[in-house]
Amino acid sequence: MKMAAKYPLLGFACLLLAALAACGGSPPARFYTLAPLGTPHAITSNAFPISVHINPVSLPETVDRPQLVIAVARHQVRLLENHRWAESLKSAIPRIIADNLSRLLTTDRVSWHPHPSPHRVDYRITVDFRRFEGTSDQVTIDALWSINRAGNQPPIAGRSLITQPLADSSPESLAAAYSQALAAMSNDISNAVTTEKSDE
């Protein structure tokens, strides 16, 4: 108090310096989400009376982080510090797959980890992403997936290798391309379920 009274401009100068430091800091972070298929199908309780559950997915540790990640060379990636996922990919991806399959299979009996299904589960789906990679012009997903059927039937195994071009080099386009790639993978899984169901 005595120093402030003796040097009345000192307090003002400190406040000004603090304000300038704040203005010169990092820009605010932007947050991005994955999106399901754009056109929903009409869902009725009898359209396709099956129950599907999406198990936890596995991801490369390189991309299992809040920041969007860009591969800039064969052995180098860049973290976009100010461009982040709004939720963890391990939470978002099962939900997006579940939403996509609900639309593709026209059933509302689709659940995802960690939410248990209230129905008897006919198909449990597990996805292991070998690659979940974005560059400045495309995204690539390489996923091994399995469909475990109720009873003692052997699982159905499949693989989706999908490359989706970016509309431009923006982070928004990166998130959109990942969403489109996940939609294509969901379509592969849906076709496998539909084929298995029709063979019964």
Which are the contacts of 151, defined by CB distance < 8 A and separation ≥ 6?
Answer: none
Q: What share of the chain in percent tops pLDDT 90? A: 76
Instruction: Look at residue 1 and tell me whether its pLDDT is greater than 50.
Output: no
Top-level class of domain 35-198: alpha beta
Three-point CA angle 183, 54, 33, nearest 5°: 50
pLDDT tens column, 130-179: 999 999 999 999 999 999 998 888 999 999 999 999 999 999 999 999 99
Tell me which long-range contacts 61-67 makes (C-beta under 8 A, separation of at least 24).
63/89, 63/132, 63/133, 64/88, 64/89, 64/90
Q: Supply the pLDDT for residue 155.
A: 94
Mean pLDDT, all residues of the chain: 88
Written as six digits, the tokens of 28 are: 């605010």
Higher model confidence: residue 152 or residue 195?
195
| C-beta separation of 48 from 105 below 8 A | yes
Instruction: Look at residue 4 and tell me whether its pLDDT is greater than 50.
Output: no
